[in-house]
Structure 1
Amino acid sequence: MAVGLSAVGNPAVDEEARAEVDVLNSRLDKTAQLTKKIQASLGRLDASGQCVRDVAGPLSVETKRLQVLGNNIDAVLAAIERLRQPADSKNNEEVIIRSGPENAGLSNYLASIQRLNVSHRDMQASNLRANQETMAELGRLIKSGNSQLEGHFDKLLRMETPRLIEPLHYVTKDQPFPILTRDNFAHLRLIYSHLAANNHQSVQESSVATIYIEIRGPYLASSLSNLAAASVNTAKKKTPQAAYKPGTNGIGTYAQAMEGIFVSEYDNICQIFARDDWGMVFQATCQPALTELARTLREINSHIKSHLGTDCFLAYEITEIISSLSGNLETRTGELKGALAAALKPIRETAKMSLSELIEDARRKVNGLQTLPADGASAPVVSETMRRLQAMVEFLRPMSSIMVSIGDGGWKGQSSANSRPSDAIPSLASFDVGADGREIFAHYCADTIDVLLSSLEQKARILHKNISLAGVFLANSVIIIERMIVDSDLSPLLVSRSETLAQWRKKSTAMYTDVCKNLSACLFDTIHTTRTNRPTSASADSASVVKNLSSKDRDKIKEKFTQFNSGFDDMVWRHKSYNMEREVRALFGEDIRQKLQPLYERFWDRYHEIDKGKGKYVKHDKSQMAAIFTSLAS
């Protein structure tokens, strides 16, 4: 409105305004055209951008893939560079390996081999064909290094291993056997540990274990060989028929030395090898010495079996010694029990067999007797058999073990050597927990005595036609047996079995006093009684009794006195002529007195007036007869 008024009022202004409007319109047109051009350009740019996007997308993925590939290539190149480093340093390690552990120093040498092992494993893991030759060279270096370590182990061990030592020096002075030095322990242990760890070998496959066994095994066997020979030589006595005496064989010293040197060797092994390997290495190292022990015991066993009657005691002693050795080594090392049991088995079986054999030997000796002492003295076989039993008591510990192993009565019938076939040294676990070896041994002694006396009785009845003389012979044997029991260590074992010998004393007494039956018959008379005239129980007056006898009865009484006197005098003469042990003479004299004196005194009281004191028929009065009976027992 204002403009219009102004324009109407001022044409110049209007013209100027129209001109400005035209300019503005012109500019608007140009702007519109420019906008259209810009819009067209934007459209074209958008189309171009889409094309770029369509092309750039795949290129981005490929670029990323190429980046990953590049990184991988860089990693491979880095790995190759690392793998090339051992190959580059091979020459340095080769210098160390070829110089040997002595020149390079054991620790430096082991470190070099360890680096070579690491490099070799890395190359094996890469499996690059380019490294195959280098791997082969490293393998050869490692093998050469291990071989030199084994040689060094061998050299170190031989330096401290003599061919043999004198074990008596250490046994007699009660000194421990020598072991390896501390420095050697350290070096040998390092070598073994390195080879065992890197070669992954068991002890059976270990080369150093084999080296150790091959060096130390002969050393042990050689050191003990002289004692083994001495054990065999001392088994052969200067007097073949002499019984073996305890401790006179060298087997005790041999076993003592074996225990000492084995324990020292076990200490060596424990210082060098791993715990799991101790047992195997120890057993293998000791095997040559154990083989020699087994051979020695077999040779001694052959000697014992050839002289069983006198040398069975050596078998008992060896059984105890080797059993103790086995127990001690089992306690201190936990090893060798089976090997020692196998070595001992022949002698242990001989010891078991000897029990039945000795009883049979006593029986054979009695049965082989062609004559017996004419005066009734005992046969030497009695003392000989009892001395054997006395000697057995000196080996009561091994005897108890043997007795328990064969069982009570195992010596009867079948040979005890076959009663319990086993390679093992018996332990308490293998026995009846209620078994008492001492009691079984006492039973064995009683059986031996019973067999001996039974055989002697049978032989006496055959060779002594006079039963009284046979009784003297048997009684003398019983008394000698009793005396040898009481005077020895058999006493506490057999004291509870005295009843057996008492029965034999009773039997021998009955055999001897059998003559009293005939003499007693002479002192019996026949008394005829009637209902109205019975004899009184009071002592009768001899004169009255004789007076009332008929002439026929008197003759019978005279004959009885005559027969008794003759038989009694003969019995007394024989009694004094027999060779009786003091106890036997007392035993028989007292038994005769008890059987005859009461009868004679009764008979004398009734009929001594038969010859009116002339002594023609009645030679001895009661006091004289009592003195004679007393003399029979002294």
Structure 2
Amino acid sequence: MPAEIDIDEADVLVLSQELQKTSKLTFEINKSLKKIAATSNQSSQLFTPILARNNVLTTLQRNIESTLNSVASVKDLANEASKYEIILQKGINQVGLKQYTQVVHKLDDMLEDIQSGQANREENSEFHGILTHLEQLIKRSEAQLRVYFISILNSIKPSDPQINITKKMPFPYYEDQQLGALSWILDYFHGNSEGSIIQDILVGERSKLILKCMAFLEPFAKEISTAKNAPYEKGSSGMNSYTEALLGFIANEKSLVDDLYSQYTESKPHVLSQILSPLISAYAKLFGANLKIVRSNLENFGFFSFELVESINDVKKSLRGKELQNYNLLQDCTQEVRQVTQSLFRDAIDRIIKKANSISTIPSNNGVTEATVDTMSRLRKFSEYKNGCLGAMDNITRENWLPSNYKEKEYTLQNEALNWEDHNVLLSCFISDCIDTLAVNLERKAQIALMPNQEPDVANPNSSKNKHKQRIGFFILMNLTLVEQIVEKSELNLMLAGEGHSRLERLKKRYISYMVSDWRDLTANLMDSVFIDSSGKKSKDKEQIKEKFRKFNEGFEDLVSKTKQYKLSDPSLKVTLKSEIISLVMPMYERFYSRYKDSFKNPRKHIKYTPDELTTVLNQLVR
């Protein structure tokens, strides 16, 4: 009997056989997959170049399309730029300034659009050529604008300002159309990188033009006088014309800057300062040269310094409120000329003293001295330069000119509240001090000549030491008469003003008092004398009364004789002198006469004059 088969073993056997089949099948599948993988790898290697080439072709297509668009854009820009370039090539005169600048603005806008729209220059190198061309075209066009700007500025040629001054013609100025063109170009460049260049051109061309014009006057302004030892004649220096021309150009340039920078007011001070600075430097240099000549010959050229004062003050006034970098040069000039003019005031006083001291004797006719003539001639010179004198009164006091031996009592200035800040007051005081100095020193010299053995006691009508008061008074009054005549016929009359004339009157009154001093002593003799008789009663001694009348008669006749020797030419002085004598003599004489006319049996023996007779003599005394 066959052996029995175990069921479990049979299952294992069957499973084993199935696994072998599966393993074999898996092997075949793996083998097939490897073949597929190899085939796929081979296909991939074949398709990769094809895809890459396809991508390249796609990129090339896009680049070609972009390039075609760029070429079209460049062509459009080039065509537009070419049209503008053709317009610009015609020039400003043919196209017109306004259209010319508008075209340049359009080119500038094109340039900005290209630059702002093309962030990557390397990817847009096709625009490099047109960018460069536009930049060069704009630069050439702006250069032409500057050339045109200069041509307008230079349309005014250098000329001699003296011609305009002599004919009283305004200095050359631009026409309205030219001003409009200059303003238009300045406006075009304002705010861009070329703005400072066009401004520098304006400054340079205007300064250069004015300096060339001033050069016509400079040789004449360097000479004060052709004759070295001749006194300077007022207004003869070329510096006056130079100053007048400079003032004219300053006004011209102010108007020009106002016209050109009407929209840019903040730029006006700086531009004007730059234009004027070279002019001020040239003026200051010339001013210094003139002042050096003045210092070398003060005797002849000293008064010219007052014209220099007027000159520098006028220039500074015209520049008031304007910012000048070299304004300190003008300040230095002012300080230097002030030192010279202040010395002239002091020298004038010293000169009067020196001239008075040179007198050896009183003129035989008690007339006018050379010192008086010289003093008034000198003061008239000062009056001819009134404005310069007033300008020179800055930072000066009375002490600057008063003599070293000044005594307040000798001068007629009273303790009045005067405004010493007023230059007119100072100048009036200076003239009055000169006249006082003359009178005081003439009196001192007269006292020394007439009374050599005693110390002079001047400006004192009551001096007991002075025994020649009448003659000295007449002598001084004769000189004051000339002083007053010259004052009335010259600018000195206005310069003295109220206070100065009051001082002159006080001075005349002082020396009128000298002339009537002896008359005052004569009337003092008529004072009543009271005597005590033996009984103790008060009485009037007839002999004393007789003596008083006798002394009066003799003294009166002597004074009449002396007074007739002194003939005053000034009518007002005659009236004043007569009035003073009558007011001194008549009241006292009438009083004395009325009291004692009946004291004598034979009055006419002792009383020579009745009051009416005395008045008649006195009225005839001074004619």
Does the pair score TM above 0.5? yes
Give the residue type in structure 2 aligned to 1:476.
Answer: M
**Are 1:495 and 2:494 counterparts?**
no
For 2:178 and 2:337, locate their aligned partners in 1 and report how far apart those are by CA, in whole Å. Answer: 41
Change (3 A) 1:102 1:178: farther
**Are 1:284 and 2:279 counterparts?**
no
**Are 1:452 and 2:421 counterparts?**
no
Contact preservation (8 Å) 1:153, 1:191: no
> 1:346-365 counterparts in 2 under 5 A?
346-347=336-337, 350-351=340-341, 354-365=344-355
**Are 1:156 and 2:157 counterparts?**
no
Q: Which residue of 1 aligns with 2:622?
A: 633
Give the residue type in structure 2 aligned to 1:453.
Answer: A
For 1:84 and 1:371, locate their aligned partners in 2 and report how far apart those are by CA, in whole Å. Answer: 115
Change (3 A) 1:124 1:321: farther
Give the residue type in structure 1 aligned to 2:440.
Answer: S
Deviation string, structure 1 residues 324-359 (Cα, Å, up to 9, x no partner):
56545659x898994895486244564455444434
Deviation (angstroms), 1:217: 1.6
Change (3 A) 1:337 1:440: farther
> 1:86-125 counterparts in 2 under 5 A?
103=91, 106-107=100-101, 110-111=104-105, 114=108, 118=112, 121-122=115-116
> 1:7-406 counterparts in 2 under 5 A?
103=91, 106-107=100-101, 110-111=104-105, 114=108, 118=112, 121-122=115-116, 126=120, 128=122, 141=136, 145=140, 148-149=143-144, 152-153=147-148, 156-157=151-152, 159-162=154-157, 164-171=158-165, 174-181=168-175, 185=179, 188-189=182-183, 191-199=185-193, 206-230=196-220, 235-236=224-225, 245=234, 254-270=242-258, 272=260, 275=264, 276-302=266-292, 315-316=305-306, 319-320=309-310, 323-324=313-314, 327=317, 338=327, 341-342=330-331, 345=334, 346-347=336-337, 350-351=340-341, 354-386=344-376, 389=379, 403=393, 405-406=394-395
Contact preservation (8 Å) 1:472, 1:508: yes
Change (3 A) 1:169 1:528: closer
For 2:102 and 2:508, locate their aligned partners in 1 and report how far apart those are by CA, in whole Å. Answer: 90
Deviation (angstroms), 1:256: 4.6
Give the residue type in structure 1 aligned to 2:269.
Answer: G
95-104 vs 260-269, greater mean Cα deviation: 95-104
For 2:395 and 2:214, locate their aligned partners in 1 and report how far apart those are by CA, in whole Å. Answer: 33
216-225 vs 462-471, greater mean Cα deviation: 462-471
**SS across alignment from 2:216:** helix
Deviation (angstroms), 1:150: 7.2
Q: Which residue of 2 aligns with 1:475?
A: 477
Change (3 A) 1:78 1:285: farther
Deviation string, structure 1 residues 386-412 (Cα, Å, up to 9, x no partner):
565566566666655654x43764745
Q: Which has the larger radius of gyration?
A: 1
For 2:255 and 2:578, locate their aligned partners in 1 and report how far apart those are by CA, in whole Å. Answer: 73
For 2:226 and 2:598, locate their aligned partners in 1 and report how far apart those are by CA, in whole Å. Answer: 71
Q: Which residue of 1 aligns with 2:428?
A: 442
Change (3 A) 1:522 1:316: same
Deviation (angstroms), 1:526: 8.7
Deviation (angstroms), 1:271: 5.2
Change (3 A) 1:604 1:511: farther
For 1:102 and 1:317, locate their aligned partners in 2 and report how far apart those are by CA, in whole Å. Answer: 56
Change (3 A) 1:315 1:87: farther
Change (3 A) 1:182 1:195: same
For 1:242 and 1:383, locate their aligned partners in 2 and report how far apart those are by CA, in whole Å. Answer: 17
Give the residue type in structure 2 aligned to 1:145.
Answer: R
For 1:362 and 1:161, locate their aligned partners in 2 and report how far apart those are by CA, in whole Å. Answer: 54
Q: TM-score, normalised by structure 2?
A: 0.60
Contact preservation (8 Å) 1:227, 1:250: yes
For 1:360 and 1:87, locate their aligned partners in 2 and report how far apart those are by CA, in whole Å. Answer: 94
**SS across alignment from 1:406:** coil
Give the residue type in structure 2 aligned to 1:472.
Answer: F
Q: TM-score, normalised by structure 1?
A: 0.59
Q: Which residue of 1 aligns with 2:463?
A: none
For 1:462 and 1:148, locate their aligned partners in 2 and report how far apart those are by CA, in whole Å. Answer: 87
Contact preservation (8 Å) 1:290, 1:339: no
Contact preservation (8 Å) 1:146, 1:195: no
For 1:606 and 1:308, locate their aligned partners in 2 and report how far apart those are by CA, in whole Å. Answer: 73
Deviation (angstroms), 1:450: 3.1
Q: Which residue of 1 aligns with 2:11?
A: none
Contact preservation (8 Å) 1:86, 1:119: no
Give the residue type in structure 1 aligned to 2:212.
Answer: S
> 1:603-618 counterparts in 2 under 5 A?
none
267-276 vs 515-524, greater mean Cα deviation: 515-524
Deviation string, structure 1 residues 74-118 (Cα, Å, up to 9, x no partner):
89x979986997799789979998998665864487358626853
Change (3 A) 1:330 1:116: farther
Where structure 2 has 5 or more consecutive residues not aligned to the other structure, the ranges are: 1-57, 405-417, 452-466
For 1:593 and 1:369, locate their aligned partners in 2 and report how far apart those are by CA, in whole Å. Answer: 34
For 2:450 and 2:89, locate their aligned partners in 1 and report how far apart those are by CA, in whole Å. Answer: 91
Deviation string, structure 1 residues 338-385 (Cα, Å, up to 9, x no partner):
489548624456445544443444344334544442432233443554
Contact preservation (8 Å) 1:113, 1:145: no
Aligned sequence identity (%): 15
Deviation string, structure 1 residues 293-345 (Cα, Å, up to 9, x no partner):
334433444455567678666555554566456545659x8989948954862
Q: Which residue of 2 aligns with 1:30?
A: none
Change (3 A) 1:83 1:497: farther
Contact preservation (8 Å) 2:287, 2:333: yes
Deviation string, structure 1 residues 203-228 (Cα, Å, up to 9, x no partner):
xxx33333333332222122233345
Change (3 A) 1:488 1:260: closer
Q: Which residue of 1 aligns with 2:535?
A: 532
Give the residue type in structure 2 aligned to 1:236.
Answer: S
Deviation string, structure 1 residues 277-296 (Cα, Å, up to 9, x no partner):
33333332333433333344
Deviation (angstroms), 1:156: 2.0
Deviation (angstroms), 1:240: 6.8
For 1:368 and 1:307, locate their aligned partners in 2 and report how far apart those are by CA, in whole Å. Answer: 23
Deviation (angstroms), 1:448: 3.5
Deviation string, structure 1 residues 172-220 (Cα, Å, up to 9, x no partner):
555443334566556555554455544265xxxx333333333322221
Deviation string, structure 1 residues 455-505 (Cα, Å, up to 9, x no partner):
333333223436333332223334444454555565575435655445434
Give the residue type in structure 1 aligned to 2:288.
Answer: R
Give the residue type in structure 2 aligned to 1:467.
Answer: H
For 1:187 and 1:589, locate their aligned partners in 2 and report how far apart those are by CA, in whole Å. Answer: 81
Give the residue type in structure 2 aligned to 1:289.
Answer: L
Give the residue type in structure 2 aligned to 1:209.
Answer: Q
Give the residue type in structure 2 aligned to 1:279.
Answer: P
Change (3 A) 1:262 1:605: same
Contact preservation (8 Å) 1:97, 1:141: no
For 1:86 and 1:349, locate their aligned partners in 2 and report how far apart those are by CA, in whole Å. Answer: 76
